[in-house]
Structure 1
Amino acid sequence: MSRQERRRVTDVGTLKAFGHPLRLKLYGTLKIRRTATASQLAEEVDEAVSLVSYHLRKLAEHGLIEEAPEAQRGDGRERWWTPAQETLTFASNDFEDTPEGAAALTATTRTLNEQHANLLRAWIEHRPAWSPEWRAAADGSDFLARYTADELKALTQELHAVVRSHEQRAKAAEEAGDTEGRENVLLYMNAFPFRSL
């Protein structure tokens, strides 16, 4: 199977498979590592290898992960896994027409937000251990403006394009051998309407 650049999940079964808390954690860890075995992932998420293997198979059944290409594998004694796409997305309008879809969307979104909040808490806790350059480069901002739904959609599309452009530049530089000083960076954005705090 050739790795897709972008995949939009549109079926409830795949969203439910992806939305399981341990599977989200495994998928996220695998995305960071790029390739890993069940044993390696089990060690990182502190779970039994048999349980991790089961959940990896479930992710693979829905085409969310796949066996890594030969060049990325170790000694061949274990299965090596990799995400099946660079970017995985899902949109609320694909799931809100049925109670099952709406519930799966809510559960998945809630779990993703909890995991992102945990990562943010870990950054805040461990920030002093990072270099001054990384502390200065990190950001925590919020903005408030009055938009229409169309204006907000245009803004988020523009921001996504900017982020993708920077991702592609960083990836090209890394592939060209510029690996010095690179770290995993999570850029997490929320944009939503509200009426009162």
Structure 2
Amino acid sequence: MTETRRITDVATLKAMGHPLRVRLYGDLYMRGTATASQLAESLDDGTAVSLVSYHLRKLAEHGLIEEAPAESGRDGRERWWRPAQESLRIDGADFRGSPEGAAAHTALSRIIYEQRREHYLRFVEQRSGWSEAWQDASDASDFHARLTAGELKELTEELHAVIKRYAEQGRAAEAAGDSEGRETAVVHLYGFPFRP
């Protein structure tokens, strides 16, 4: 498994640009490994396993996911899947020269935003079911700053480094057996110019 994959070709961008594929990739990323049956069940909307399998194969054709190595105790009749990389990077600059690529990047960005929005709204609706500690730790902030493009890029890189450091600390703690009280924390960042 590679650490980070940067998607630079339009074909892979378009393959990823389907709402169900983005959802399946995200679910695999969270679980680590899963079968088509498990992923279909987690969708909780009646999506057929055969349709999930089709979309998983499309993601695999573009190297976004791969078959997970067999582990003892698993049913060998089902295919297990995992992300083929620890993270994906999709940079709009890679598609500026191509109208088709720019359109595919915009479409995928909208799908990703909608799914992130759904995640946050699910938390808002279920907030009272979380402990007070988790409710107090959650955040929804909005900042406005007068910056240059270079300053915004530097700010983004610093925020990414901080989040990555905390994620690595969490993985190391869990690997050492310290999993009590740990949940998956989702942090969405958007930084963009805006003219009111």
Rounded Cα–Cα distance in structure 2 between residues aligned with 1:135 and 1:153: 30
Q: Which residue of 2 aligns with 1:32?
A: 30
- Counterpart of 2:38 in 1: which secondary structure? helix
- 1:73–1:80 CA contact under 8 A, matched in 2: no
* In 1: Cα distance, 2:185 partner to 2:146 partner: 29
5+ residue gaps, structure 1, are: none
State the shift of 1:72 in Å: 7.7
Alignment of 1:110-121 (within 5 A): 110-121=110-121
Structure 2 residue runs of 5 or longer lacking an equivalent are none
Count of matched residue positions in the alignment of Structure 1 and Structure 2: 194
1:97 is paired with a residue whose SS is coil
Tell me the alpha carbon deviations over residues 82-115 of structure 1, each in whole angstroms, 9 at most, x when there is no partner: 0011111110100121110011000000000000
**Runs of 4+, deviation exceeding 4 Å:** none
AA aligned opposite 1:85: Q
The residue that corresponds to 1:53 in the other structure is: 53
> Partner of 1:70: helix, strand, or coil?
coil
Q: Give 1:137's aligned residue.
A: 137
Q: Percent same amino acid among aligned pairs?
A: 59
Q: Is the 8 A contact 1:35 1:72 kept in 2?
A: no
State the partner residue of 1:63. 63
Q: What secondary structure sits across from 2:74 in the alignment?
A: coil
TM-score w.r.t. the length of structure 1 is 0.96
Instruction: Please name the residue that 2:4 is paired with.
Output: 6
Aligned to 1:95: 95
Q: Secondary structure at the match of 1:71?
A: coil
Q: Report the Cα offset of residue 62 of structure 1.
A: 0.5
> Which whole-Å CA distance do the structure 1 matches of 2:38 and 2:144 have between them?
42
Q: Distance in 2 between matches of 1:49 and 1:101?
A: 30
Alpha-carbon distance, 1:71 to partner: 3.1
Cα offsets for 1:128-187 (capped at 9, x unmatched): 010001101111111111000000001101111111111111111111111111111110
- Cα distance in 2, alignment partners of residues 72 and 194 from structure 1: 53
Distance 2:19 2:65 in 1: 16
